[in-house]
Amino acid sequence: MLVYHPVAALLSDPANAGLNFTSDTLTAGDGSRFLLWRIGETADRQIVVVYFHGNAENISHNIERYKFLNDLGAAVWAVEYRGYAGVGKYPTEKGIELDLDVLADYIRHEFGDRDGRFQRKIVPYGRSLGGAVAAKLARRIPAAGIILESTFSSMGDVARASFPFLPTSILLREHYDSESVLKELSCAKLIMHAPGDGVIPFRLGRKLFDAAAAPKSFVELPGGHNEPLSVSQSVLEPALSEFLAKI
């Protein structure tokens, strides 16, 4: 079953939105590479949101969101998947896990102290497929919190909902079992989903929330799955502001 839809061409960069940023290329243990944009970092920004985008796009499709998060007071690390933006090998769950191992080490190097504590509050944030990747990162570092938007409990649940008459347990190679991860995470969790989501059923977002360990909160979003930021901003802004202020 086809899971990934890599988009190669970069449409823009954060500088076009008036954001200061640096671009790094990190290399995983198998030699594959992936991009990292470090956006809006200043000495007074104590929160770093590590953002993972959805499937059929790339790192450059979410610049409006990076600016939105930066305006809320957070620095943003936008992380690309291998095989996207024309960089690295074709993505797989195991390959992306290798990338996350490198990213976690990079975060420790940048923000960790001798006692293993972080000098910044690191918050993985993932939308759609990115939610499953964000959950995997949160297992690898002492995250201050995690934000999951329009994502799923597991890839198996998505497959069964989309193809109820197929033997998806046999055909599916990628699992992304976020439900199991969130049962174990002790950090604060904000899970958001639109009841009108036509791509990832709302019930899977609720299933993920119900399985997650406390502390946690759930927010219903307006619109559907791929609405522009303008549709959900009136709900996102207070929800994110409150969450980031409490961690």
Could you report the per-residue pLDDT of 24-44, keeping only the tens digit for each?
999 999 999 999 999 999 999
Q: Which of 105, 116, 74, 103 is nearest to 247 (CA)?
A: 74
Whether the predicted pLDDT of 212 surpasses 60:
yes
Domain range list for the chain: 14-246
Q: DSSP character for 17?
A: G
Residue 44: count other Cβ atoms within 10 Å of its Cβ.
6
* Residue 101, Cβ density class (10 Å: 0-12 exposed, 13-18 middle, ≥19 buried): middle
Q: What residue ranges in the chain does DSSP mark as E strands?
A: 21-27, 33-39, 47-52, 75-79, 121-127, 145-149, 188-193, 216-220
- Return the CATH class of domain 14-246: alpha beta
Q: What residue ranges in 119-245 does DSSP mark as E strands?
A: 121-127, 145-149, 188-193, 216-220
Q: What residue ranges in 86-236 does DSSP mark as E strands?
A: 121-127, 145-149, 188-193, 216-220
Could you report the per-residue pLDDT of 148-167, keeping only the tens digit for each?
999 999 999 998 887 776 65
The C-alpha atoms of residue 72 and residue 35 are separated, in whole angstroms, by 24
> For the chain, what is the mean pLDDT?
95
